[in-house]
Amino acid sequence: MPSESTVRRPTLTEVAALAGVSLKTASRALNREPNVAPSTGRRVQDAADSLGYRLNGIARELRRGATSALVGLVSGDLANPFYSAVASGIERELRQHGLLLITANNDEDADLERSLVDAFLERRVRALLVIPSGDDHEYLAIEGNRGVPFVFLDRPPDGLAADAVLIDNAGGARSAGEHLLAGGHRRIAMVADLARMAPQRGRIDGFVSAMKSSGNTAWEPYLRTDVHDVRHAERTVRDLLLLETPPTAIFTTNNRLTTGALRALRDVVRPPALVGFDDFDLADVLGTTVVAHDMSAIGREAARLAYERISGHTGPARTIVISTSLIARGSGERST
């Protein structure tokens, strides 16, 4: 067996030559265009098969209008189930329209994000979906007018008008607050992520508004923000429990923080009540009460919006808000 390791790919010209027809006829035959004599078609097909010909999508795209069948997604690390659930929803929807998904991880770094967006735009993606890390998206405004649809996920665009799919953060957090209040809790801790990020601000606001409406102020000493990872959350919750008068309930504002809290509470004899924002695998087994929302729907809806723009839809920017629902599983119903 000859070991021709790296063989150049045959071009259509070579296929045509082998079949004894012109380049254009070979093109027509392989694209199954009408008006190709059956015998010619067969000859071309055979030639292509025997050479192992495969169409060069790059050349085709250039000729057809310099725009690819790719849609880009810039998000955080796919190892985070939130991002991967969203990505999964996007991919599923795109596939129905013959589009492929390119993903890139911004590592929560605004500069990296920008350069990834650049890379995607150079690759002429048909649309760009972003779960932005940076705050300022104004640099995208020029692009938005250049025919590349943008869709923002989870975080609203700032500095430009663009489609967005958001979660009802304030509503979800309010329901968590109200749920705990209804359970008789007053000293309710809130452990939140970076307050500069819009979703977190929404959740903080929603929770605070629930407290305000009820006239409760006992929660105030227990607000912890800018808790950014699992370890930090675990430490924060431990510290809360060590206070002279510890909180009787805790609200964590995303899946990572909930994980940290669960670790901290693992061996606590009389753990405080816990409600977490974002549902997660095995929350049912753990009996963790959460504010759930449909993550794959976020991706699906975003992909749908993008596809509509790709298909020519024009019109003002739209915002879809995904609703939340509180799922009581026990941890949020522990009494004071």
Q: Rule CB under 8 A: which residues touch a copy of itself? A: 4-9, 52, 54-59, 61-62, 66-70, 77-79, 81, 84-85, 87-88, 91-92, 95, 100-105, 118-124, 142-143, 145-147, 259, 262-263, 266, 280-282, 284-286, 296, 314
DSSP calls for 81-143? HHHHHHHHHHHHHHHTTT-EEEEEE-TT-HHHHHHHHHHHHHTT-SEEEE---SS--GGGHHH
Query: How far, in Å, CA of 24 to CA of 11, rounded?
Result: 12
Residue 36 near which of a copy of itself, DNA, none (CB within 5-8 Å, type-dependent): DNA
66 and 60 Cβ atoms separated by less than 8 Å: no
Query: How far, in Å, CA of 153 to CA of 60, rounded?
Result: 31
Nearer to a copy of itself by C-beta: 47 or 208?
47
SS3 115: helix
Characterize the bridge pairing of strands 223-224 and 188-191: parallel
Tokens of 291: 């504010």
Nearer to a copy of itself by C-beta: 20 or 159?
159
Residue 24 near which of a copy of itself, DNA, none (CB within 5-8 Å, type-dependent): DNA
Residue type, position 289, single letter: T
Q: How far is the CB of 62 from a copy of itself (least distance, A)?
A: 5
56 and 11 Cβ atoms separated by less than 8 Å: yes
Nearer to DNA by C-beta: 13 or 115?
13
Task: Kindly provide the b/e burial profile for residues 7-23, where b requires at least 16 CB atoms within 10 angstroms of the residue's own CB.
Answer: eeebbbebbbbbbebee
Nearer to DNA by C-beta: 30 or 227?
30
Is residue 5 packed enough to be buried (19+ CB in 10 Å), middle (13-18) or exposed (0-12)? Answer: exposed
Place of tokens 């009494």: 335
Nearer to a copy of itself by C-beta: 204 or 310?
310
Question: CB 50: neighbour CB atoms within 10 A?
Answer: 12
| 148 lies in the binding site for DNA (CB under 7 A) | no
Query: How far, in Å, CA of 131 to CA of 153, rounded?
Result: 5
Closest to 27 in 3D by CA, of 63, 70, 66? 63
| 296 lies in the binding site for DNA (CB under 7 A) | no
Interacting positions 18-57 with DNA (CB under 7 A): 20-25, 27-28, 30-31, 34-40, 53, 55-56
Residue 142 near which of DNA, a copy of itself, none (CB within 5-8 Å, type-dependent): a copy of itself
Q: How far is CA 215 from the centre of its chain?
A: 37
Of the residues 42, 46, 50, 64, which one makes contact with DNA according to CB under 7 A: 64
Residue 251 near which of DNA, a copy of itself, none (CB within 5-8 Å, type-dependent): none
Nearer to DNA by C-beta: 54 or 270?
54
Residue 284 near which of DNA, a copy of itself, none (CB within 5-8 Å, type-dependent): a copy of itself
| 213 lies in the binding site for DNA (CB under 7 A) | no
Residue 27 near which of DNA, a copy of itself, none (CB within 5-8 Å, type-dependent): DNA
Q: Which stretch binds DNA (CB under 7 A): 11-19, 90-98, 150-158, 318-326?
A: 11-19
Which residue ranges make up the site for DNA (CB under 7 A)?
9, 11-13, 20-25, 27-28, 30-31, 34-40, 53, 55-56, 59-60, 62-64, 66
